[in-house]
Amino acid sequence: MAFILSWGTSSCLSVIQNRACNTAGATPRAVHSALQSNGRGLWRCARSTPALLRANRFRAQPFSPSASPKFPFSSRLFATAATGSGKVAVVTGASRGIGRAIALALGEAGCHVVVNYSASEAAATAVVQSIKRAGGEAMAFKADVRQPEQVDALFTAALERLGRVDVVVNNAGITRDTLMLRMRPEQWQEVIDLNLTGVFLCSQAAAKVMLKQRSGRIINIASVVGQIGNAGQANYAAAKGGVLALTRSNAREFAPRGVTVNAVAPGFIATEMTENLPQEQIQKTIPLGRLGEAREVAGLVRFLALDEAAAYITGHTFNVDGGIAIGAGN
Ligand SMILES: NC(=O)c1ccc[n+]([C@@H]2O[C@H](COP(=O)([O-])OP(=O)(O)OC[C@H]3O[C@@H](n4cnc5c(N)ncnc54)[C@H](OP(=O)(O)O)[C@@H]3O)[C@@H](O)[C@H]2O)c1
């Protein structure tokens, strides 16, 4: 991940450098060596770049797919932005919180969404209605994703009623927090059963369909806790760390059939899961100084699930954490 980011940054800088230098009269090689030589070079170049870009008429434009192609490569990418038209998406634990926001985002983007829930039937029905009001299609389906036969019923229903499964978001999850020395085996097991085994079962069911289709995208909702750990969450951290490893293994295994698998690692997001935590204390640990919103996680999931530009991304973890994991080397 760190490699990809630094590669991406230096590539972008190279493009900017070339453009900027052509305008300003300095050679690309001269600016490149200024950038490489030390931090001050980088800072100077970053400061002068907006002016140079303006001079070269490469101003940042508000997003518009039909904007004139002054920057043809970017315009082509934007023109293919997220559309879920005709796609079938299964979202586990979609009755509340982050799963609900993901279901709404995918529904609004044109997917036919299967809104999975295990207990909150009224909430799941309300999600379906919201998607339909927004012009989308959706159906609610009760299934405890810890149970193999219920997972099987969920995917069989999706396939029989909708004909295919294009996107699966493994979102259902719980916490049973307590310090390690006080953790009872059943508190450990409950979290592992849903947060890790549930992802295994749904990924296996999804793969049976997607590998045959030779297409599909699986997005696993992990957690920053699976990357950096957290006192009082040994069970949760172990399960989410397992999800990250499962994501990478499945990405390698499914890639030859065109199926991508990625993970999203939220930090603290304002949902029922976090409402009883000490909010002020938590905010102090977040560089951006606030809890995230479920729709902010949903925005990234929509990109990974639907955008053509995400077709070449697999096996990676993307944080939506207000900066909590900065420098953790994920
Ligand atoms: N909120 C955060 O700060 C945060 C941070 C990092 C990661 N996450 C992860 O994000 C995911 C969603 O969290 P959230 O905050 O949105 O939680 P939430 O508000 O508590 O919602 C949990 C969802 O999971 C469903 N669910 C629970 N048990 C289930 C089961 N056995 N089978 C199927 N669905 C089940 C619930 O549906 P029913 O009510 O119908 O059971 C509900 O829709 C979880 O995986 C969580 O670990 C959350």
- The domain spans of the chain are 2-60, 88-320
Q: DSSP state, 308?
A: G
* 224: amino acid identity, one letter: V
Crossing angle for the helix pair 28-37 and 39-55, nearest 10 degrees?
140
- Ligand 1 first shell, C-beta below 6 A: 92-93, 95-99, 116-120, 144-146, 171-174, 194, 221, 223, 266, 268-269, 271-274
Question: What pLDDT score does 268 carry?
Answer: 98
> What CATH number has the domain spanning 88-320?
3.40.50.720
Q: Take atom 1 of ligand 1 and give the residue whose Cα is closest.
A: 269
100 known member of a binding site: no
The whole-angstrom separation of Cα 24 and Cα 30 is 12
Measured in Å, residue 148 CA sits from the centre of ligand 1 at 19
Exposure of 6 in the CB half-sphere (CA atoms within 13 A): 4
pTM beyond 0.95, yes or no: no
312 known member of a binding site: no
The whole-angstrom separation of Cα 277 and Cα 279 is 6
Give the distance from CA 152 to its chain's centroid. 25
CA 236, 239, 241, 244 torsion-angle sign: negative
Q: Would you say 233 and 175 are in contact if contact means Cβ atoms under 8 Å apart? A: yes
State whether residue 236 is helix, strand or coil. helix
Measured in Å, residue 99 CA sits from the centre of ligand 1 at 7
Q: Between the CA of residue 240 and those of 38, 224, 243, 266, 325, what are the distances in Å?
A: 39, 8, 5, 11, 15
Question: What pLDDT score does 269 carry?
Answer: 98
Q: Would you say 261 and 250 are in contact if contact means Cβ atoms under 8 Å apart? A: yes
240 known member of a binding site: yes
Question: What pLDDT score does 19 carry?
Answer: 36
The whole-angstrom separation of Cα 323 and Cα 137 is 35
Measured in Å, residue 221 CA sits from the centre of ligand 1 at 10
Task: Give the atom of ligand 1 at the shortest distance from the alpha carbon of 170.
Answer: 45
Question: What pLDDT score does 83 carry?
Answer: 75
Note down pLDDT in tens along the chain; length 330 residues: 322 223 333 333 333 333 333 333 444 454 344 444 444 444 443 444 444 333 333 333 333 333 333 333 344 444 445 677 889 999 999 999 999 999 999 999 999 999 999 999 999 999 999 999 999 999 999 999 999 999 999 999 999 999 999 999 999 999 999 999 999 999 999 999 999 999 999 999 999 999 999 999 999 999 999 999 999 999 999 999 999 999 999 999 999 999 999 999 999 999 999 999 999 999 999 999 999 999 999 999 999 999 999 999 999 999 999 999 999 876
Q: Which of 120, 142, 150, 174 to mutate to test the pocket of ligand 1 (most atoms within 8 A of CB)?
A: 174
Is residue 236 part of the annotated active site? The answer reads yes
Catalytic option among 58, 141, 155, 236: 236
Question: What pLDDT score does 68 carry?
Answer: 33
Q: Would you say 259 and 218 are in contact if contact means Cβ atoms under 8 Å apart? A: yes
Furthest-apart CA atoms within the chain: distance in Å: 69
Question: What pLDDT score does 119 carry?
Answer: 98
236 known member of a binding site: yes
User: What's the token pair of residue 145?
Assistant: 């994703």
State whether residue 61 is helix, strand or coil. coil
